[in-house]
Amino acid sequence: MPKINYVRDGKVVLLGGGGKIYTDVAARFVRSERELEDIVASPYDKKIVENILSSGHRAALEFDFFIFGLEGYSRVTETQLVRKRLASYLIKSGRQELNGKREFSVVLPADEAVNSHRVFVVRDTFGGFRYAEKGEPDAIEIDPTDLLMLTELWYNAGVKKGLREENLRYLKPQATEFKAIIGMNAHALLDWFGIRCCHNAQAEIRDLAMKMLFLCKDAAPDLFATAGANCVQLGYCPENDRQCAMFKNSIYTQNEARKILKEHKRQEIHTPNGCAG
């Protein structure tokens, strides 16, 4: 029987990052005329970090790096995770020969309708399968757990037969768990949180992003004081027509914000004090 975890059961650990903040040190190098030793020895200045965040000049944030260990997430989420190119990934190998000692663990959505979905199948005349009605002769009832158990049996039988695990893994489901170490700098993390903490994000990767966010806020509160979904960071939703239902009518979309600003400027121009003539 496979080891089954569910979405939101994943574990995230902060392995490194926080403590001494280098963003303010990096920012000083750009403008200060002092000697390097004096700049490095200067006490931490929270105001510098706040100015960097408010101005949007985030290059200095790239000198603070954070490392996370994670487990209990599916390959579905892995494919979305590695789309973030400004990051480092070390993912547990699925091809290494473990001679039957590899744990067959999967992650399923916390969706009772999906997890309890059952179908009836029978062998067709061509040796394949077709849908069947309940009670039909020779019909077999199959649910998601059955499919996972069959895959595990097939995989383990292949290992015992001496087939290569790097080839057997091709038939593993996307639900297969992966484990990884991830490294991102603070600039990349703010971008990552903006997209993946959004309620439009897929549930599992949003869970991962939120857990990373809480760890970052705890380790470096000044760096991540404004971190979160894009609507949190920007004050408006850049998703426009794709804005999540939760915040419709409570947070302006980017298009709405632009329209309001444009109207405000138009009115300002046509008031007596704003008239150019």
Tens of pLDDT, residues 14-66: 999 988 899 988 888 887 778 888 888 888 889 999 999 988 888 999 999 99
DSSP designation for 277? -
Q: What is the pTM of this model?
A: 0.85
pLDDT tops 70 at residue 272: no
Domain ranges of the chain: 3-21+64-234, 235-277
Kindly report the backbone phi and psi dihedral angles of residue 252, in degrees, each rounded to the nearest multiple of 5, phi listed first.
-65, 145
Which position has the token pair 């470096």?
A: 220
Length of the chain: 277
Q: Residue 104 has what pLDDT? A: 86
Tens of pLDDT, residues 244-261: 888 887 888 899 888 888
Mean pLDDT rounded to a whole number for the chain: 88
CATH number of the domain at 3-21+64-234, out of 3.10.180.10, 3.30.70.260, 3.30.1360.170, 3.30.70.20? 3.30.1360.170
pLDDT tops 70 at residue 276: no
Kindly report the backbone phi and psi dihedral angles of residue 97, in degrees, each rounded to the nearest multiple of 5, phi listed first.
-75, 115
**Sequence letter at residue 182:** I
Q: Residue 198: which of 111, 80, 74 has the closest Cα? A: 80
196 flagged as catalytic: yes
pLDDT tops 60 at residue 85: yes
Using pLDDT thresholds of 50, 70 and 90, give the confidence band for residue 179.
very high
Using pLDDT thresholds of 50, 70 and 90, give the confidence band for residue 274.
low
Q: Residue 7: which of 162, 112, 159 has the closest Cα? A: 112
Dihedral, CA atoms, 85, 91, 97, 103, nearest 10 degrees?
-140
Catalytic residue among 196, 206, 242, 258: 196
